[in-house]
Amino acid sequence: MSESLILNEASLPFFSVEDCEVNLAVFFEILHSANLKGITFYRADDLEGGWSSLVYAQGFEFGKWISKIKNNDQCRLVKSVIGNVKCRLISNESIDQKNSIKDILFVLLSDQDIEVKGLGVASILNAYGISFASHTNWKVDPVTVIQQWDEVGAIQKQNVNVPNIYSQANLDKILDELAVKKQSNKNYFCNLAARGNIDFPHLIFCESALKDLRSSSVTALDFPRIISVLNKLDRAICGSTNLDDLIKNSGLDISGESTETMNAAKHARKRLFKHPNLGRVLFEVHVKNFTDNKRMHILADYVSNCICIGYFGRHLSTVTTPK
């Protein structure tokens, strides 16, 4: 499996060093178990740094805590997580509502003085949160979050339940749910055809794109984003006569490549895909509304009101980011 969890930064710090030392080992065991299942981790607090740089409790010294661990297996586990398990930043640009996410306030229903950006982003992405067991607020699944925003001078509110991992037993339950969800997502893409899909009547797919979408690298975070992008492209192409129209009508972040990249044969040929009707052609234009720097390369036909999907996956090489 290849899924993702978003860190609930509001679950830190612990109230005391003693409480932290009692519970921190359990959290690292959760990280280790999840990592073995192919889980990846994200944070939404805009702060750089690894697990050892977090503020776990006032006066808590991470290095000193590790040196005090008497169980050698547990010590090796913690060090393995620190060295091998990354928790990457998830940018607002990765979120479909990137123009409004900054205007949404996310607070905890049970204590509305607590802001919960990580869980809030998870609620927008329909994703899972992961919390430290530092308070009863976080020892529940799901955690109810209030989304608050201003709409024409009036405050709007919406309650959302965010699945939350805080214990090993809780993790096992959610891993089972993710396995079912992953299979459902895989089945959906397996049923997509090159053309004639009821859900996307104005889209066609290269075999390369269908293979990408059916890949195990497509995560639970990717799936709703892919479906959203495909729906927006399918609707927008009917009223578009050029790329500017498509960008405006879809509300998506779409662009072409730089002249330097397209003039470099080794980079340009990576954007060649076999179109179902046209054979091998360049798919320069790409959609950027995805996590992990992923891209969807497309080729639009503004006469027949059709878009061909050529590729989905990691950002292809460019002159500035060669691979």
In a domain, 184, yes or no: no
Is the domain of 170 the same as that of 196? Answer: no
In a domain, 44, yes or no: yes
**DSSP assignment, residue 49?**
-
State how far the Cα of 247 lies from the Cα of 97, in Å rounded to an integer: 15
Is the domain of 232 the same as that of 159? Answer: no
Q: What is the pLDDT of residue 39?
A: 86
Is the domain of 112 the same as that of 237? Answer: no
Tokens of 216: 């195990």
Helix pair 243-250, 222-236: axis angle to 10 deg:
120
Full pLDDT tens readout for the chain, 323 residues: 347 899 999 999 999 999 999 899 999 999 999 998 888 898 987 776 789 889 999 999 999 999 999 999 999 999 999 999 998 887 655 555 444 577 889 999 999 999 999 999 988 887 889 999 999 999 999 999 999 988 888 889 999 999 999 999 999 988 888 778 778 888 999 999 999 999 999 999 999 999 999 998 888 778 888 999 999 999 999 999 999 999 999 999 999 999 999 998 999 999 999 999 999 999 999 999 988 889 999 999 999 999 999 999 999 999 888 76
Displacement of CA 52 from its chain's centroid (Å): 23
Q: What is the pLDDT of residue 93?
A: 52
In a domain, 181, yes or no: no
Q: What is the pLDDT of residue 40?
A: 86
In a domain, 45, yes or no: yes
Strands 164-165 and 111-115: unpaired
State how far the Cα of 219 lies from the Cα of 186, in Å rounded to an integer: 10
The helix/strand/coil state of 140 is: coil
State how far the Cα of 304 lies from the Cα of 56, in Å rounded to an integer: 58
Q: By residue range, what is the domain housing residue 217? A: 192-314
Is the domain of 39 the same as that of 157? Answer: yes
Is the domain of 169 the same as that of 55? Answer: yes
In a domain, 267, yes or no: yes
Any residues with CB less than 8 A from the CB of 323 and at least 6 apart, and which? 317
In a domain, 179, yes or no: no
Is the domain of 279 the same as that of 141? Answer: no
| Domain count within the chain | 2
Q: What is the pLDDT of residue 99?
A: 43
Is the domain of 294 the same as that of 204? Answer: yes
In a domain, 33, yes or no: yes
Q: What is the pLDDT of residue 92?
A: 56
The structure's pTM equals 0.68
Is the domain of 157 the same as that of 76? Answer: yes
**DSSP state string for 235-259:** HHGGG-SSHHHHHHHH---EE---H
Is the domain of 198 the same as that of 229? Answer: yes
Q: What is the pLDDT of residue 62?
A: 94
Name the burial class of residue 151, with classes exposed (0-12), middle (13-18) and buried (19+) by CB atoms within 10 angstroms of its CB.
Answer: exposed
Is the domain of 152 the same as that of 211? Answer: no
Is the domain of 8 the same as that of 118? Answer: yes
In a domain, 200, yes or no: yes
- Looking at 174, 209, 232, the residue that finishes a domain is 174
Is the domain of 158 the same as that of 208? Answer: no
